[in-house]
């Protein structure tokens, strides 16, 4: 296990280096600059700003300095948020996005897996059709449309929840539901298809022949193996959700990391764009690593070192 984790950490460092490099040069290739705006800045002031932030240095000096800063976990100052660094913005926005993402993820996993299991156990019955209609609607309706629908009916018409803002636990319900809708639909469809495949295996028929009840077969044999594709999907999904949904946070006025990222794009805040991208990449790589480790606990036949089953 330790050898496998060490090997994966080396691959993660290599992947992170490539991501940092690509992000740096893509930002350099983008038209305009961090101080480009509708209001023209005097050349003297722009020159002083470039000198202060080190933007007047050759590209290889800037690239080396950026790699050193990343290694020190220093994403640099924000060009648009005066008196704040990118680290400050991440520390301020990530806890909000993390809480919202965890709430949405728990809703999506619990409801999605439950719907998928119910649909598979009642294949071609009304429960199956009902769950799949819900899944199709969840996938078809974009999150910003779902957010608007929830705001109109549950907040404006019924008055059950606040329309927007981030002030109490009640304010988190609507954005979490809007964020979880599409995820729930995907997980439900994935769980259903995986469950149907598992239920058709020989060992399930053997368990039935031994006289095990439907509940015992489902809990002890079917669900555990059916969850492997779901766990695979949850790796990158968790990193995406926990770092914040750009659209949902904007609609509900949530001061999360996604909101900062959107604002940094519109303001040409290059250091924030690069810092948040690198931060998101780190979370994504860690999530994929945790998924690979979780495989060994869900299905002991999977050997981490060899990556093969049944050995």
pLDDT band of 79, cuts 50, 70, 90: confident
pLDDT at 18 over 90: yes
pLDDT for position 36: 67
Structure tokens belonging to residue 117: 């299991």
pLDDT for position 35: 67
**Do 253 and 166 meet the contact criterion of CB atoms below 8 Å apart?**
yes
77 forms beta bridges with 85
304 C-beta neighbours (distance < 10 Å), count = 15
CA–CA separation, 247 and 262 (whole Å): 9
Task: Give SS3 for 201.
Answer: coil
pLDDT for position 299: 62
Alpha-helix runs per DSSP H in the chain? 2-29, 43-52, 59-71, 86-121, 126-140, 143-150, 173-199, 202-209, 214-216, 223-242, 246-251, 257-266, 270-298
Span 171-175, mean pLDDT?
Answer: 90
Task: Give SS3 for 31.
Answer: coil
CA–CA separation, 24 and 39 (whole Å): 26
**Do 106 and 248 meet the contact criterion of CB atoms below 8 Å apart?**
no
pLDDT at 32 over 80: no
In the chain, the domains with their CATH numbers are: 86-298 (1.10.3720.10)
Residue-wise pLDDT tens digits, 258-290: 878 877 877 778 888 888 888 888 888 888 888
pLDDT at 303 over 60: no
**Do 143 and 249 meet the contact criterion of CB atoms below 8 Å apart?**
no
**Do 135 and 127 meet the contact criterion of CB atoms below 8 Å apart?**
no
pLDDT for position 37: 62
**Do 289 and 8 meet the contact criterion of CB atoms below 8 Å apart?**
yes
pLDDT at 248 over 90: no
- Indicate the angle between helix axes 143-150 and 173-199, nearest 10 degrees: 130
- End-to-end alpha carbon distance in the chain: 15
Question: Taking Cα atoms as reference points, which of 59, 82, 52, 16 lies closest to residue 274?
Answer: 16
**Residue percentage of the chain with pLDDT more than 70:** 90
Please give the distance of CA 194 from its chain centroid, rounded to a whole number: 22
CA–CA separation, 111 and 180 (whole Å): 10
**What is the rounded average pLDDT for all residues in the chain?**
82
pLDDT band of 39, cuts 50, 70, 90: low
Structure tokens belonging to residue 201: 């295996």
Please give the distance of CA 36 from its chain centroid, rounded to a whole number: 31
Please give the distance of CA 300 from its chain centroid, rounded to a whole number: 27
Residue-wise pLDDT tens digits, 112-122: 999 999 998 88
Residue keyed to tokens 């608007």? 148
CA–CA separation, 90 and 185 (whole Å): 30
Residue-wise pLDDT tens digits, 178-232: 988 888 998 999 889 888 888 888 888 888 888 777 777 787 778 877 888 888 7
pLDDT for position 311: 42
pLDDT for position 111: 92
Span 47-58, mean pLDDT?
Answer: 79
- Within 8 A by CB and 6+ apart from 252, the residues are 147, 164, 165, 166, 171, 174, 175, 178
Eight-class DSSP state of 40: P
């Amino acid at each position: 296990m330790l050898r496998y984790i060490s090997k994966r950490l080396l691959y993660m460092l290599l992947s992170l280096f490539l991501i940092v490099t690509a992000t740096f040069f893509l930002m350099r290739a983008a038209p305009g600059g961090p101080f480009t705006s509708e209001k023209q800045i005097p050349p003297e002031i722009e020159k002083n700003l470039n000198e202060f932030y080190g933007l007047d240095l050759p590209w290889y000096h800037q690239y080396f300095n950026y790699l050193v800063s990343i290694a020190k976990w220093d994403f640099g100052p924000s060009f648009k948020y005066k008196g704040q660094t990118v680290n400050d913005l991440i520390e301020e926005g990530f806890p909000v996005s993390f809480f919202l993402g965890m709430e949405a993820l728990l809703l999506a996993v619990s409801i999605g897996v439950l719907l998928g299991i119910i649909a598979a156990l009642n294949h071609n019955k009304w429960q199956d059709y009902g769950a799949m209609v819900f899944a199709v609607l969840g996938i078809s309706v974009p999150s910003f449309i779902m957010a608007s629908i929830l705001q109109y009916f549950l907040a404006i018409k019924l008055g059950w929840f606040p329309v927007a803002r981030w002030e109490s636990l009640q304010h988190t319900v609507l954005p979490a539901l809007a964020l979880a809708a599409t995820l729930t639909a995907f997980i439900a469809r994935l769980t259903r298809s995986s469950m149907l495949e598992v239920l058709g295996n020989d060992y399930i028929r053997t368990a039935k022949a031994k006289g095990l009840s439907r509940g015992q077969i489902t809990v002890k044999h079917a669900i555990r193996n059916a969850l492997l594709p779901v766990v695979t999907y949850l790796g990158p999904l968790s990193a995406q959700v926990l770092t914040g949904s750009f659209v949902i946070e904007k609609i509900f006025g949530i001061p999360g990391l996604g909101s900062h990222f959107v604002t940094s794009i519109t303001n040409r805040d290059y250091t924030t764009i690069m810092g948040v991208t690198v931060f998101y990449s780190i979370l994504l790589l860690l999530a994929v690593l945790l998924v690979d480790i979780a495989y060994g606990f869900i299905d002991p036949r999977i050997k981490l070192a060899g990556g093969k089953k049944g050995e």
